[in-house]
Amino acid sequence: MLLALNVAMKVYFIDDDEDLINIFSTALIREGFEVSYSLTGGEGLTKVKIEKPDIIMLDQVMPDMAGNDVLKTLKQDEETKNIPVILLSNFSQAELVKGAIEQGAVDYLFKYQVEPKDIVTKIKEALKMQ
């Protein structure tokens, strides 16, 4: 007899806005996700390899490095290249969005246009859980 294991999917935020992370985390935890985060790109790059999340939510502008630079590093690393990444930013310049998608982001969301329930839906879509 096989036992089904109910393993929570892991979402990892790399974002310097801790208040926003807390808001989105609350919605994700209610939906059964496990959530972790880093407040800088450098720390995120290190911790993602340890945490091994199922998906990464990445800010575009952080104190130490740009989101597109973090994304590029993630996609060039054998350990992290297959983890889906969604950029979540207040910056909607076409060149940033285009650069992120070209580097392998699965989506680019604007913080000022997205609600916590939308984040849950986008993550589920990206993970093909629906």
Chain-centroid distance, C-alpha 7? 19
> What are the boundaries of each domain within the chain?
10-127
pTM score, whole prediction: 0.91
Give the pLDDT mean for 64-91. Answer: 94
Q: Measured between alpha carbons, how far is residue 96 from residues 56, 72, 100, 106 in Å?
A: 17, 13, 6, 14
Q: What are the pLDDT digits (tens) for 9-52?
A: 999 999 999 999 999 999 999 999 999 999 999 999 999 999 99
Give the pLDDT mean for 69-76. Answer: 96
Q: Thinking of the domain 10-127, which architecture would CATH place it in?
A: 3-Layer(aba) Sandwich (3.40)
